[in-house]
């Protein structure tokens, strides 16, 4: 049976169940964050109570995420629960910096889930920088983006690589000795050229192992290890700890083969597939596995990039509130005689939205809103047309959509904003 965070998500993600509980998750994380910061500056007993409240609210969000089966998300809330429990019992120091790491994780998770509801395909590794900060604070031994990697087809069943046409006779003790002979210099190498050379030797040994497999699952597993070594030989992931650790695990697995006890650990397969999916320049072996396991687009170009928590939430809320006021004023204006007071309220609201939009670093949208305000002022003074009303209505709707999607605006957004502003000017000029 697969758990929400097992690597067996073969069906496409359905965002509808998440949309039903999104408000609950957002509010529960918000309450947890408030209680978490309220714990600061409190005496020990009061702090423990506040942290318990923070943990209870977090647990509510965690339960909802487990229920709707969002891959990777409950790993983050589970880790945050551990942090809150340790803040409370004193085994992890409560500081504002530590509290901020948890709060940043809440914000990242909320934004990621909102993206999923809006139709963005799942890519849990986007959450890695926040997961890494949390795990570092918790003192975890292993911190790997593959922990948040759930490709559509990451089990061995049904994704076989064809058996070798002329398999060599298996000599696992000899191959394990050969592998170890190259592994130590690889781990100790100080420059990339030496690493690539030793990784090439490791790849050659693993090719023999993969070719010797008689059963399809074993052939696919070892072919994935072979492809991983081939990528290291081509210069991918040079000298990183995660690469060294996987080579170490492969060595242990070869020892088991040499002793006659074979197994195919799913965690190792997932680490290799992550490396294959993340490769900037995949080899032909890696491309073969990308196709077999549907890995294209499963890992973002830069897993270290902090994509979330970059938008000023106060400015965004202020812009949304002022835009709602502006739309209400415009609606009343459209039904009333040209009332200068309503016109002033509309213009002030739009200027407020524009000021907040400047803080959000959306100059094209701010410029459009100021253009709207100027056009409306002239329209109130000199009369207006149905066409002008229509254009201003469209501009307000466009701005509303822009604020809703401020973190994932399409590439042509700024161009479209300029086009709408130009049309307003043209209408005003007749």
pLDDT tens track for 261-314: 888 999 999 999 999 999 989 999 999 999 989 898 889 888 888 888 877 778
Sign of torsion, CA 155 307 36 63?
negative
- Three-state DSSP at 125 gives helix
Residue 4: the pLDDT is 37
Residue 231 has pLDDT above 70, yes or no: yes
Sign of torsion, CA 87 90 96 98?
negative
Residue 222: the pLDDT is 96
Residue 245 has pLDDT above 90, yes or no: yes
308-to-102, 109, 127, 320, 398 alpha-carbon distances in Å: 13, 8, 8, 19, 23
Q: For 123-143, b where at least 16 C-beta lie within 10 A, e where not — what string?
A: bbbbbbbbbbbbbebeeeeeb
Q: If you average pLDDT over residues 327-344, what whole number do you get?
A: 71
Contact 234, 253 (CB under 8 A): no
Residue 95: the pLDDT is 92
Contact 151, 137 (CB under 8 A): no
What is the rounded distance in angstroms from the CA atom of residue 159 to the CA atom of residue 346?
60
Residue 11: the pLDDT is 59
Of 244 and 406, the structure prediction assigns the larger pLDDT to 244
What is the rounded distance in angstroms from the CA atom of residue 157 to the CA atom of residue 55?
39
As a whole number of Å, the CA-based R_g of the chain is 28
What is the rounded distance in angstroms from the CA atom of residue 217 to the CA atom of residue 8?
16
Contact 105, 80 (CB under 8 A): yes
Residue 397: the pLDDT is 87
Residue 5 has pLDDT above 60, yes or no: no
What is the rounded distance in angstroms from the CA atom of residue 164 to the CA atom of residue 157?
18
Of 34 and 315, the structure prediction assigns the larger pLDDT to 34
Residue 43: the pLDDT is 84
pLDDT band for 69, please (50, 70, 90 cuts).
confident
268-to-153, 154, 222 alpha-carbon distances in Å: 15, 11, 10
Residue 153: the pLDDT is 66
Percent of the chain with pLDDT over 70: 91
Of 187, 172, 273, give the one whose Cα is nearest residue 225.
273
Residue 1 has pLDDT above 50, yes or no: no
Residue 233 has pLDDT above 90, yes or no: yes
- As a whole number, the mean pLDDT across the chain is 86
9-to-6, 87, 109, 292, 418 alpha-carbon distances in Å: 8, 34, 19, 15, 42
pLDDT band for 79, please (50, 70, 90 cuts).
very high
Residue 362 has pLDDT above 60, yes or no: yes
Q: If you average pLDDT over residues 370-398, what whole number do you get?
A: 76
Residue 430: the pLDDT is 67
What is the rounded distance in angstroms from the CA atom of residue 69 to the CA atom of residue 62?
11
**Cβ-proximal residues to 217 (8 Å cutoff; 6+ apart), any chain:** 156, 157, 160, 264
pLDDT tens track for 90-133: 999 999 999 999 999 999 999 999 989 988 889 999 999 999 99
Q: 15 phi and psi, to 5 degrees?
A: -80, -10
The whole-angstrom distance between residue 407's C-alpha and the CA centroid of its chain comes to: 13
Of 362, 367, 330, 363, give the one whose Cα is nearest residue 351.
367
The whole-angstrom distance between residue 106's C-alpha and the CA centroid of its chain comes to: 13
Mean pLDDT is lowest, of 237-246, 256-265, 331-340, for 331-340
Residue 26: the pLDDT is 93
pLDDT tens track for 141-178: 999 999 999 887 656 666 668 888 888 888 999 999 99
Q: Is 277 exposed, middle or buried (0-12, 13-18, 19+ CB in 10 A)?
A: buried
Of 65 and 342, the structure prediction assigns the larger pLDDT to 65
Residue 30: the pLDDT is 94
- Global pTM reads 0.76
What is the rounded distance in angstroms from the CA atom of residue 257 to the CA atom of residue 266?
16
Which of 217-221, 314-318, 346-350 has the largest mean confidence?
217-221
Residue 360: the pLDDT is 79
Residue 155: the pLDDT is 65
Residue 261: the pLDDT is 85
């Amino acid at each position: 049976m697969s758990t929400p965070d097992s690597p067996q998500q073969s069906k496409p993600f359905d965002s509808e169940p998440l949309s039903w509980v999104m408000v609950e998750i957002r509010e529960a994380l918000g309450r947890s964050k408030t209680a978490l910061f309220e714990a600061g500056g409190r005496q020990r007993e009061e702090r423990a109570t506040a942290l318990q409240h923070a943990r209870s609210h977090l647990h509510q969000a965690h339960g909802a995420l487990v229920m709707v089966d969002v891959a990777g998300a409950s790993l983050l809330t589970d880790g945050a629960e551990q942090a809150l429990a340790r803040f409370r019992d004193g085994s992890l120091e409560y500081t504002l910096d530590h509290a901020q790491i948890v709060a940043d994780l809440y914000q990242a998770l909320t934004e990621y889930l909102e993206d999923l509801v809006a139709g963005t395909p799942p890519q849990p590794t986007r959450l890695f920088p926040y997961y890494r900060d949390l795990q570092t604070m918790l003192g975890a031994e292993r911190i790997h983006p593959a922990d948040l990697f759930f490709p559509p087809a990451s089990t061995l069943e049904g994704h076989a690589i064809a058996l070798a046409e002329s398999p060599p006779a298996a000599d696992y003790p000899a191959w394990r000795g050969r592998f170890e002979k190259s592994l130590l210099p690889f781990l100790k190498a100080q420059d990339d050229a030496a690493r690539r050379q030793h990784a090439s030797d490791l790849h050659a040994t693993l090719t023999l192992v993969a070719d010797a497999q008689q059963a399809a699952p074993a052939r696919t597993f070892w072919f994935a290890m072979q492809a991983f070594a081939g990528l290291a030989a081509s210069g991918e992931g040079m000298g990183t700890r995660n690469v060294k650790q996987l080579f170490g695990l492969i060595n242990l697995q070869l020892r088991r083969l040499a002793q006659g006890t074979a197994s195919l650990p799913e965690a190792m397969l997932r680490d290799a597939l992550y490396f294959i999916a993340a490769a900037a320049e995949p080899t032909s072996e890696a491309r073969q596995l990308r196709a077999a396991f549907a890995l294209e687009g499963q890992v973002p170009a830069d897993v270290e990039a902090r994509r979330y928590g970059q938008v000023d939430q106060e400015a965004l809320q202020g812009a949304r509130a002022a835009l709602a006021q502006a739309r209400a004023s415009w609606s009343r204006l459209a039904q009333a005689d040209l009332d200068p007071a309503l016109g002033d309220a509309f213009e002030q609201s739009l200027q407020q939205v524009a000021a907040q939009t400047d803080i959000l670093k959306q100059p094209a949208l701010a410029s459009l809103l100021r253009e709207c305000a100027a056009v409306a002022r002239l329209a109130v003074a000199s009369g207006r047309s149905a066409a002008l009303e229509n254009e201003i209505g469209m501009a307000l709707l466009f701005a509303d959509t822009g604020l809703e999607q401020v973190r994932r605006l399409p590439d042509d957004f700024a161009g479209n904003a300029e086009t709408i502003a130009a049309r307003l000017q043209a209408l005003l000029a007749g």
